[in-house]
């Protein structure tokens, strides 16, 4: 495995996610603070909604710029500079300047985030399953960066002042810019459009159908996963049964437990796959969906009985949800980048995220009825049956290795 290049890209991603998620965590508080901009809650929510929606939309044109002109490494540099300026401008207490800063951060993130993701896979031949192990390290870094960003920037911003939170984000961004400049030559790019000794060549026409299928799998899995884990955290936050081994657990720590489970289980699965070899893609996705189904059933049982040791059982369920996530995230990203034409890697990945976002929004609306549980389990079971029935046909599209 290309450990050096993977480590560099993971470190860049940790610092980039630390900045992004940290600032996103305090931005609403900053905008509504009476001592600063003092915007209304309604205006701030609209602003935040614009941010999250715009991020998936603007990623498409910036990904095309990356694919056609800049390349992934230069995009990290250009995007990092734009983000750095954006984080520094947030210090200025002016509404117009803040809008400009958010635009710069959106542009910078749209250049950096897809590029680091694509470069992880670009270090390997498409049929090399070690790319999945590299993505496991990479995703663990994303979770670590997000966790550190939310906790440190959130704490510093609330306790010592918002500008210090933004300064931390800027320093973190400057750090990954320096790392990229110094070590970009250590990130090798050997991926081609050929699979299995030139017997199969990737093309957009050949893989469009499989990309759409992966979007559907991604939507069904992630939206059900997000809704169910959010309900567990919400129920625990409003419950009086929040003692673990006799100690009271704060609301902020409940979310932290979910992140810690993800990091720990990623590490364990990485070691297992490193020793035993990476499992077949669609076999792994099947196992992940089965675990998610059991976790959802467990959530319903827990909600019904409300035991005295609610927190302990909830942590077990969060572990199941985390394990399902850990199984599917790196292998799905590895696969979507593997079947992408290398001349349009960033664009295809960004389109994948955009389609997931659009279809996911509609799917969430569908779930928000009294029949949510039945729809949830039905969609997961149907997805499971579809994967099992059509695995061979899917594999032929991209010469999936056994």
Q: Which helix (H) or strand (E) holds 248?
A: strand 247-248
* CA angle centred on 255, ends 251 and 261, rounded to 5°: 135
Report how far residue 216's alpha carbon sits from residue 263's, in angstroms, rounded to the nearest whole number.
Answer: 26
Q: Which of 135, 159, 183 is the last residue of a domain?
A: 183
212 shares a domain with 164? no
3 state SS of 324:
helix
Residue 319 in any domain: the answer is yes
331 shares a domain with 233? yes
87 shares a domain with 20? yes
Q: What is the pLDDT of residue 402?
A: 39
211 shares a domain with 171? no
Q: What is the pLDDT of residue 270?
A: 92
CATH number at residue 59: 1.20.1250.20
The closest alpha carbon to 282, from 384, 352, 181, 197, belongs to 384
Q: Which residue has the tokens 């955290």?
A: 233
Q: Which of 183, 212, 230 is the last residue of a domain?
A: 183
Residue 192 in any domain: the answer is no
66 shares a domain with 212? no
231 shares a domain with 179? no
Report how far residue 2's alpha carbon sits from residue 186's, in angstroms, rounded to the nearest whole number.
Answer: 10
Domain that holds residue 139: 3-183
The closest alpha carbon to 169, from 10, 8, 9, 24, belongs to 24
Greatest CA separation found in the chain? Answer: 65
Residue ranges in the chain whose pLDDT is less than 70? 1, 195-200, 236-256, 306-310, 370, 393-402
Instruction: Please answer whether residues 231 and 238 qualify as being in contact, where contact means their C-beta atoms are separated by less than 8 angstroms.
Output: no
Asked whether the whole model's pTM tops 0.75, one would answer: yes
Q: What is the pLDDT of residue 120?
A: 95
- pLDDT 10s digits, 282-295: 889 999 999 999 99
Report how far residue 209's alpha carbon sits from residue 220's, in angstroms, rounded to the nearest whole number.
Answer: 17
Q: Which of 130, 148, 183 is the last residue of a domain?
A: 183
Question: What total of structural domains would you count in the chain?
Answer: 2
Report how far residue 187's alpha carbon sits from residue 12's, in angstroms, rounded to the nearest whole number.
Answer: 12
- pLDDT 10s digits, 83-118: 999 999 998 878 788 889 999 999 999 999 999 999
The closest alpha carbon to 88, from 75, 105, 110, belongs to 105
The closest alpha carbon to 111, from 155, 67, 47, 162, belongs to 67
Residue 191 in any domain: the answer is no
Q: What is the pLDDT of residue 67?
A: 94
164 shares a domain with 79? yes
206 shares a domain with 111? no
Question: What does the block give as tokens for 116?
Answer: 């680091």
CA 402 to chain centre: 27
232 shares a domain with 330? yes
The closest alpha carbon to 330, from 114, 189, 123, 133, belongs to 133
DSSP letters, 169-201, are: HHHHHHHHHHHHHHHGGGS-----SEETTTTEE
Residue 312 in any domain: the answer is yes
354 shares a domain with 310? yes
Q: Beta partners for 201?
A: 194
259 shares a domain with 203? yes
115 shares a domain with 242? no
Residue 210 in any domain: the answer is yes
Residue 285 in any domain: the answer is yes
Residue 392 in any domain: the answer is yes
Residue 188 in any domain: the answer is no
């Amino acid at each position: 495995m290309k450990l050096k290049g993977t480590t560099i890209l993971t470190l860049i991603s940790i610092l980039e996610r630390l900045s992004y998620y940290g600032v996103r965590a305090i931005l609403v508080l900053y905008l509504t603070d009476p001592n600063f901009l003092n915007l209304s809650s309604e205006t701030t929510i609209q602003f935040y909604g614009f941010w999250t929606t715009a991020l998936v939309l603007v990623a498409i044109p910036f990904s095309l710029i990356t694919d056609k002109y800049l390349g992934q490494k230069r995009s990290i540099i250009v995007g990092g500079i734009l983000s750095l300026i954006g984080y520094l401008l947030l210090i200025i207490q002016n509404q117009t300047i803040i809008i400009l800063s958010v635009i710069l951060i959106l542009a910078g993130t749209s250049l950096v985030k897809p590029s680091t993701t694509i470069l992880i896979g670009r270090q390997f031949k498409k049929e090399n399953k070690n790319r999945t192990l590299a993505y496991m390290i990479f995703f663990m870094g994303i979770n670590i960066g997000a966790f550190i960003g939310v906790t440190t920037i959130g704490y510093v911003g609330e306790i010592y002042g918002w500008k210090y939170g933004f300064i931390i984000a800027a320093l973190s961004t400057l750090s990954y810019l320096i790392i990229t400049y110094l070590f970009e030559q250590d990130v090798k790019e050997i991926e081609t459009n050929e699979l299995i000794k030139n017997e199969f060549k990737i093309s957009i026409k050949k893989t469009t159908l499989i990309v759409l299928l992966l979007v559907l799998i991604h939507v069904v899995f992630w939206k059900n996963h997000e809704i169910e884990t959010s309900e567990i955290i919400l129920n625990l936050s409003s419950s009086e049964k929040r003692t673990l081994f006799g100690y009271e657990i704060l609301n902020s720590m409940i979310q932290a437990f979910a992140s810690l489970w993800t990091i720990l289980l990623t590490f364990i699965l990485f070691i297992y796959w490193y020793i035993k070899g990476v499992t077949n893609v669609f076999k792994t996705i099947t196992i992940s969906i089965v675990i998610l189904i059991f976790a959802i059933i467990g959530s319903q049982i827990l909600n019904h009985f409300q035991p005295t040791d609610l927190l302990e059982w909830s942590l077990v369920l969060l572990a199941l949800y985390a394990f399902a996530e850990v199984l599917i995230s790196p292998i799905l990203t590895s696969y979507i980048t593997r079947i992408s034409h290398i001349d349009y890697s960033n664009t295809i990945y960004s389109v994948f995220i955009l389609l997931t976002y659009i279809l996911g929004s509609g799917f969430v609306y569908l779930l928000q009825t009294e029949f949510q549980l039945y729809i949830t389990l039905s969609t997961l079971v149907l997805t499971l049956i579809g994967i099992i029935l059509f695995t061979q046909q899917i594999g032929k599209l991209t010469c999936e290795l056994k």
